[in-house]
Amino acid sequence: MSWWSELGRRLRGEPEPVPVPELPPAPTSEEILASVEDVRRRVAGRVPPAVQARVERIARTVAEMVPRLDRPGLGSRQAHTVVATATSYLPEAVDAYLRLPRDFADRRVVADGKTSLMLLVDQLDLLGATIAKISDAVSRQDANALIAHGAFLEEKFRASTLDNPPEAS
């Protein structure tokens, strides 16, 4: 807004406009998948097998979930959890671990009798279990829809004229 416009607004006694914050756009499916793929690449050969396996499991589940994020029945909270896991929670946990010297991360106790490696494994287990539950819930909804559709077809065609064709005269 120019200073002339601003002066005119003030002289007219108009309220000051409230700025509307611009929210970043939601990540695309490609960005979500790229984020987990980037974490996979960063950990390859740099972490113990226990961490590698957990990252792979989370990445696979996220990859399975991405095409399902816009499905009816998948709550926005659940979808947000999957997206945040891929783009924030997983990369931040792994990056914090990777910044540490390996000997320190894997051997030095830092909290509650655990090393940084143990803490990372706990965090990855929690993330993995959470998105696995979401995936299972969506799959159960799909399976229930299939069951309901089967019941509909059974009802519709069980007593159909297809079973008892009309007699020819």
What are 106-122's pLDDT values in tens digits? 999 999 999 999 999 99
Across residues 23-29, what is the average pLDDT?
Answer: 82
What are 121-135's pLDDT values in tens digits? 999 999 999 999 998
Average pLDDT, the chain: 87
Q: Is residue 1 part of a domain?
A: no
What are 63-100's pLDDT values in tens digits? 999 988 876 656 688 888 999 999 999 999 999 999 99
Q: Which of left, alpha, beta for 123 (phi over 0: left; psi -120 to 50: alpha)?
A: alpha
Q: Is residue 152 part of a domain?
A: no
Domain that holds residue 103: 25-143
CA separation, residue 133 to residues 57, 122, 126 (Å): 13, 17, 11
Q: Is residue 9 part of a domain?
A: no
Domains contained in the chain, number: 1
